[in-house]
Chains A and B, each alone.
Chain A
Amino acid sequence: MTRFTGNCDDFGMDTISLAGPLEAKLRAIADGGFTQVMLSAHDLVSHPGGVAAACRAVRASGLRVTGFQVLRDFEALTGRLHEYKMDVASSMLELCAELGSRVLLVCSSTLSHADDDRDRIARDLRKLAMLAVPCGIRIAYEALSWGRTIHELPAAWDVVRRAAAPNLGLGVDSFHCLATEMPLHELDAVDVRKIFLVQLSDFLWRAVPSSAERIETARHFRVFPGEGVHTAEVADLVRHLVALGYRGDFSFEVFNDDYVQLKPSFVAARARRAAEWLGEEVLQRPVPLPSELPRAPASTARPRAPIRRTP
């Protein structure tokens, strides 16, 4: 049974935080009181009933799809590598469209084979954005803190701005902002309407100075907002984004090896505490009266016909 509390419905869970089959994850997220879910390509392609069955399960859950992840190492490649990555990108967009997701997350490249020229990076992102237009999808480009050329948010904003595609914007991940110790005023230079997604998490030690430490921490030791040692920084980030005018979704991007061997209901309850902390204590939104609660919405995602690609 989904709980709608009204003051934290813009916070959602990510399937990567949970163990079990897709249906169990969706049930745990809905039972945890969330109204939206961020999905990974793995959720669809590894479903025993196939991609169509996975998409049906998502629609049946009543959860809105926050976004779909993740396209990696896409930009600034040449020759066969570029062609290969275009095929991968096309296939990811088809999955994203079939799911009914309006946002595809793209992480900055880590490949040493990629060009480091920002105009070149912007040109490829613009091409990807055009590819996404007929699918009805927006591209959220995120600076991985161990990215080769783009590893900080200001640099990601620079190439998004250069690309100048309306459906290309930023994905902001608190982990990478914390890892690179980004000052919050860097966000002031960003057009907040171009932030298409915010992902939130914390971790349990202060600093991750090297790329190796960042990768290890990001992939195994994240925790929900309010559970780590950067509680104040995460709260400041959320408050700052809202003060700038951000009104989009916040998704909990919590990769944690412990959480994927615990009961999904237990993990979802921890995520719920994080959402309530952010909604009520950090953003100080009032708890709505029962009469103010919205009725349970039906899923509004209309699956788009998958585009048939050249074989």
Chain B
Amino acid sequence: MSTDPELLDPGHPSSLHGIEFIEYSTARPLALGHVLELMGFQPVARHRSREVLLYRQGTMNVVINAHAAQRRDDPADADDVRISAVAFRARDAAAAYRRALDRGAWAVPTRVEVMELNIPAIHGVGASRIYFVDRYREFSIYTVDFVPIPCVDQQPPAIAGLHWFGLVQHVGPGRMLDWIEFYRELFGFAPIPDDQRFGILPEGRILCSPCRTFYLQLVEPSPGTAGLVDRTALPFGSAASPGTAGLVDERLARLGLGTSDVLGAVRALRARGVDFLDSELAGPAERGALTRGLPAGVAFELVRDHRPPPSQS
């Protein structure tokens, strides 16, 4: 089935316009915050009512949510760091949300405190959520729900022009087409030709957002992938374990950051203490690089992207 043309019209109320923020969930926010700072993000604000911190670098906003993770009972989750949400910018968040529900999305009940924004959300892969945000032009959602950290630059510049490039999602065996259709039907994502590839990990299928500003890479993890990628970047390690194939933990696995100068970004980040996979296959190379051994089990992929970063607001 082809993509609904109305979603490709940037003037349509339900159309998407990029990524507003990415949210991580962790019971150890300080450890993850340290990782983000190594990667060039700076803490700029605290949530008014919850244990949630906002980090920023250039046009990228990252939220660390320790609120939900600390309320979980399962001690096995204590070390788990997850990409727990992605917020899409929409021309009209309510319209995009209603359209998604009409086509089979699960509504997420939101719990807001007094004077906080009610940001509509649907369920994404695994336990993750997809938010719709339309207040990013005249004012931002953060001015309502967050309190700025005093004496901190609220607009820290990006290292080597880093900006959102995309997200990598792991899918279970035989589930690739299901997820392609899900993203096409609900948001208007479309697969790009198989011979068009970015970065250093050309696996899986790549979907382009309807606004053509970012990508989703859907990957069926395999033992080969696990051999190439740092194990700490694969928190679903069971996928590579003999006898447990098929029990892939479907989830948002890592972030892709775009830059026109991958090697320059690698030099700058190495100087801050970030290590990168170093191999003929995995780079670092002009086309991309992959972090290695970052604390808290997170990973970032750098991808060559000559497009200018989207504006902040």
Name B103's contact: one of A127, A136, A302, A310 (CB within 8 Å).
Answer: A127
User: Which residues, 277 to 311 on A, are CB-close (under 8 Å) to B?
Assistant: 300, 302, 305, 307-311
Determine whether the beta carbon of A136 is less than 8 Å from that of B107: no
Determine whether the beta carbon of A164 is less than 8 Å from that of B106: no
Determine whether the beta carbon of A134 is less than 8 Å from that of B125: yes
Determine whether the beta carbon of B172 is less than 8 Å from that of A136: yes
B151 within 8 A of A: no
Determine whether the beta carbon of A133 is less than 8 Å from that of B178: yes
Determine whether the beta carbon of A126 is less than 8 Å from that of B106: no
The interface residues of chain B lying within 8 Å CB-to-CB of A307 are: 106, 123
Determine whether the beta carbon of B123 is less than 8 Å from that of A130: no
User: Which residues, 103 to 154 on B, are CB-close (under 8 Å) to A?
Assistant: 103-109, 123-127
Determine whether the beta carbon of B1 is less than 8 Å from that of A310: no
- Min CB distance B310 to A, Å, is 28
Name B185's contact: one of A90, A130, A300 (CB within 8 Å).
Answer: A130
Determine whether the beta carbon of A166 is less than 8 Å from that of B177: yes
Determine whether the beta carbon of A136 is less than 8 Å from that of B250: yes
Alpha-carbon separation in the docked complex, A304 to B278 (Å)? 36
B175 within 8 A of A: yes
Determine whether the beta carbon of A300 is less than 8 Å from that of B246: yes
The interface residues of chain B lying within 8 Å CB-to-CB of A90 are: 106
The interface residues of chain A lying within 8 Å CB-to-CB of B175 are: 136
Q: Return the chain A residue nearest B179 by Cβ.
A: A133
Determine whether the beta carbon of A310 is less than 8 Å from that of B123: no
Question: Given A136-B250, A302-B247, does the pair A131, B104 have CB atoms closer than 8 Å?
Answer: yes
Name B106's contact: one of A128, A302, A309 (CB within 8 Å).
Answer: A309
Alpha-carbon separation in the docked complex, A71 to B246 (Å)? 27
Q: Could you count the A-B residue pairs with CB atoms below 8 Å apart for me: how many are there?
A: 60
Residue tally, chain B, CB below 8 Å to A:
27
B201 within 8 A of A: no
- Min CB distance B290 to A, Å, is 27
Q: Return the chain B residue nearest A136 by Cβ.
A: B172
Alpha-carbon separation in the docked complex, A136 to B104 (Å)? 14
B186 within 8 A of A: yes
User: Which residues, 154 to 196 on B, are CB-close (under 8 Å) to A?
Assistant: 172, 175, 177-182, 185-186
Determine whether the beta carbon of B186 is less than 8 Å from that of A310: no
Determine whether the beta carbon of B247 is less than 8 Å from that of A133: no
- Min CB distance B160 to A, Å, is 35
A179 within 8 A of B: no
Most chain-B CB neighbours within 10 Å: which of A130, A133, A308, A309? A133
Alpha-carbon separation in the docked complex, A310 to B175 (Å)? 26
The interface residues of chain A lying within 8 Å CB-to-CB of B123 are: 134, 307
The interface residues of chain B lying within 8 Å CB-to-CB of A134 are: 106, 123-126, 182
Alpha-carbon separation in the docked complex, A134 to B246 (Å)? 16
The interface residues of chain A lying within 8 Å CB-to-CB of B186 are: 130
User: Which residues, 131 to 168 on A, are CB-close (under 8 Å) to B?
Assistant: 131, 133-134, 136, 164-167
Determine whether the beta carbon of B246 is less than 8 Å from that of A164: no
Most chain-B CB neighbours within 10 Å: which of A90, A134, A167, A310? A134
A129 within 8 A of B: yes
Alpha-carbon separation in the docked complex, A300 to B172 (Å)? 13
Alpha-carbon separation in the docked complex, A129 to B1 (Å)? 14
The interface residues of chain B lying within 8 Å CB-to-CB of A311 are: 109
Determine whether the beta carbon of A130 is less than 8 Å from that of B246: no
Name A130's contact: one of B108, B125, B182, B247 (CB within 8 Å).
Answer: B182
Q: Return the chain B residue nearest A93 by Cβ.
A: B106
The interface residues of chain B lying within 8 Å CB-to-CB of A309 are: 106-107, 109
The interface residues of chain A lying within 8 Å CB-to-CB of B109 are: 308-311
Alpha-carbon separation in the docked complex, A296 to B106 (Å)? 37
The interface residues of chain B lying within 8 Å CB-to-CB of A300 are: 246-247
Q: Return the chain B residue nearest A165 by Cβ.
A: B181
Alpha-carbon separation in the docked complex, A131 to B107 (Å)? 10
Determine whether the beta carbon of A133 is less than 8 Å from that of B108: no
Residue positions of A touching B, CB distance < 8 A: 90, 126-131, 133-134, 136, 164-167, 300, 302, 305, 307-311
27 contacting pairs across A/B (C-beta < 8 A): A90-B106, A127-B102, A127-B103, A129-B181, A130-B103, A130-B104, A130-B105, A130-B182, A130-B186, A131-B106, A133-B104, A133-B179, A133-B181, A134-B106, A134-B124, A134-B126, A136-B250, A164-B1, A166-B177, A166-B181, A167-B177, A167-B181, A302-B247, A307-B123, A308-B109, A309-B109, A311-B109
Residue positions of B touching A, CB distance < 8 A: 1, 102-109, 123-127, 172, 175, 177-182, 185-186, 246-247, 250
Beyond A127-B103, A308-B108, 8 extra complex contacts between A and B, CB < 8 Å: A90-B106, A127-B104, A130-B182, A136-B250, A164-B1, A300-B246, A302-B247, A310-B108
5 closest cross-chain pairs (CB), A and B: A130-B104, A166-B177, A127-B104, A131-B104, A310-B107
